[in-house]
Amino acid sequence: MMRPLRNLRGVDVVARPDRVEASLWRRFILSGQARLRESLFERYRQFARSLARRHARRNQLGRDVVEDLEHFAYTGLLEAIDRYDPRKGRAFLAFATSRIAGSIVDGLGRINELGAQLRFRRRSERERVASLVDGEQEGTRTAVAQLADLVTELALGLMMAAQENAEAGPREGTADNAFDNLAWRQTQNQLRERVNGLDEIERTVIRQHYQNDLLFSQIATMLGVSRGRVSQIHKAALGKLRKTMRLAR
Amino acid sequence: MTDESQRFCGDIAMREIVALAGGDGAGGVVRIDAHLIDHPEDPRLHFLKGSLLIELGRLVEAHESMSRAIELAPDFDIARFQLGFFELTSGEADRAIATWGALKDLPASHPLPMFVTGLEHLVADRFRECIEHLRAGIDANRDNAPLNRDMELIIAKCEEILAGKDAGSSGGPGDAVSAVSLLLGNRRP
């Protein structure tokens, strides 16, 4: 989207989108930096998502499968980003389309359509819970205190997911009176501010997991770290959010 | 180390390449690559190749070629300026400013440091100062008309932005601060 003229920055006067994109690729190829891989992923995420949705429409697949297809498309996109070489002269979207489509078809072949949505959701939720309970030392705190923290962290996760999905339509289970709606919005704003205050890598994990529904394994590929490390970062980030949200109350 | 007499491609061959590249960029790149086999350290070949690659949209390779040109000839001023400008238009302002660093050592009357100062003001959103320095550079530049045209386009855009800001600033109380800033900007020497 174009900025209004009066809000234009100096660099916008001369920046050309094709060159900005090429610069991103050049720096990524030279450095392999996770931050640049993430920028590339964000740049093409909507494209991967639209391929997944188109595939679902063409094959008359149920809505419940779409989320799984998107997840397969993201895997294909991440693979395409790592394998693409712009010096070979092929446009990225042309290169990536067949890989994303292949990933969707392969993924679909591995799952039972009816259980797809459920499996993805369950896997994602299992990852979350495993991440949060992992490393808890028995005996250091009471089981009730541990459970309370776990529930708070899971609730924070649900709030973030709801926040990211707000544009999709009305939320299920949200408050229906003006006061509660206001309180909900204020808490969400507070949460958004706290997320912005996290370390860069923590922000990336939280954003990609809750906003883009990426599994820990996919975020691990994106950041060039192990899946276990992503799980640790997720736990640390939610722990920080839990503490700061408590202080803020 | 390449022998100095072997380093540069001959003038006739250079003229031939330039003539070919004018009508056939891809053919020009192929011809340059052929000459680079014998003259791999000729910075002019790398610079020309980089310029053609930009036109062809092969932007990643273009940066490599232009960077190689100034690596081989750090005092190849126009190549350095164009590489920095390419980086600026690629959204890499910090890198462009670093690339241009050596041009600041040129005499103050040289157009390139004037253009660089103007573009640095642009990066810092100081549009009036940008226009002022780019105009001074255009006045000083008698040799490179296409470069002047590039700078004139930037001036036109800056003027458009300033006109937009001026129009916006008379729109209501919320713009009072920007109106004052513009006034202060006018008072600067």
**pTM score of the predicted model:** 0.70
To the nearest whole angstrom, how far is the Cα of B178 from the nearest Cα of chain A?
A: 11
Tokens representing A26? 């050049």
Structure-model confidence comparison of residues A132 and A172, the more confident one: A132
Least confident of A77-81, B48-52, B177-181: B177-181
B182 neighbors B169 (Cβ within 8 angstroms)? yes
Q: Per the structure block, which two tokens stand in for A27? A: 């720096």
Task: Kindly report the average pLDDT of chain A as a whole number.
Answer: 79
Residue B19 distance to chain A (closest CA, Å): 25
The reply to whether residue A13 touches residue B61, judged by beta carbons under 8 angstroms, is no
Q: How confident is the model at residue B158 (pLDDT cuts 50, 70, 90)?
A: very high
What mean pLDDT, rounded, does chain B reach? 86
Asked if B125 has any chain A CB less than 8 Å from its own CB, the reply is yes
B166 interfaces chain A, CB cutoff of 8 Å:
no
- Nearest-CA distance A19 → chain B (Å): 4
Question: A141 has which bridge partners?
Answer: A138
- Beta strands of B26-177 (E only): which ranges? none
Q: How far apart are CA B53 and CA B139, in angstroms?
A: 30
Q: How many CB atoms lie within 10 A of CB B76?
A: 19
Question: Can you give the pLDDT at residue B171?
Answer: 42
Q: Amino acid identity, residue A229?
A: R
Q: Is B164 on the interface with A (CB under 8 A)?
A: yes
> Is the Cβ–Cβ distance between A40 and A22 less than 8 Å?
no
Q: What is the mean pLDDT of residues A31-58?
A: 92
Cα A42 to Cα A184, A224, B52: the distances in Å are 28, 16, 30
pLDDT of residue B41: 93
Return the closest-CA partner of residue A195 out of A148, A136, A237, A248. A237
Instruction: Check if the beta carbon of residue B69 is closer than 8 Å to that of residue B79.
Output: yes
- Least trusted range by pLDDT, from A190-204, B99-113, B159-173: B159-173
- Encode pLDDT of B20-74 as tens digits: 888 888 999 999 999 999 999 999 999 999 999 999 999 999 999 999 999 999 9
Local structure of B5: helix, strand or coil: helix
- In the structure, what pLDDT confidence band is assigned to residue A131 with cuts at 50, 70 and 90? confident
* C-beta separation of A241 from A194 below 8 A: yes
Give mean pLDDT, residues B92-115. Answer: 96
pLDDT over 70 at A63, yes or no: yes
Residue A88 has which token pair? 């070979």
pLDDT at B136: 97
Q: Return the pLDDT at A134.
A: 63
DSSP label of B171: S
Higher confidence at residue A131 or residue A210? A210
Count of CA atoms in the C-beta half-sphere (13 A) of A59 = 17
Distances (CA, A) of B29 to B12, B21, B83: 17, 8, 18
Contacts of B180 (CB under 8 A, 6+ apart): none
d(Cα A113, Cα A57) in Å, to the nearest integer? Answer: 14
pLDDT at B187 over 60: no
- pLDDT, residue A26, reads 96
Higher pLDDT among residues A123 and A174, named by residue: A123
Does the distance separating the beta carbons of A87 and B61 come in below 8 Å?
A: yes
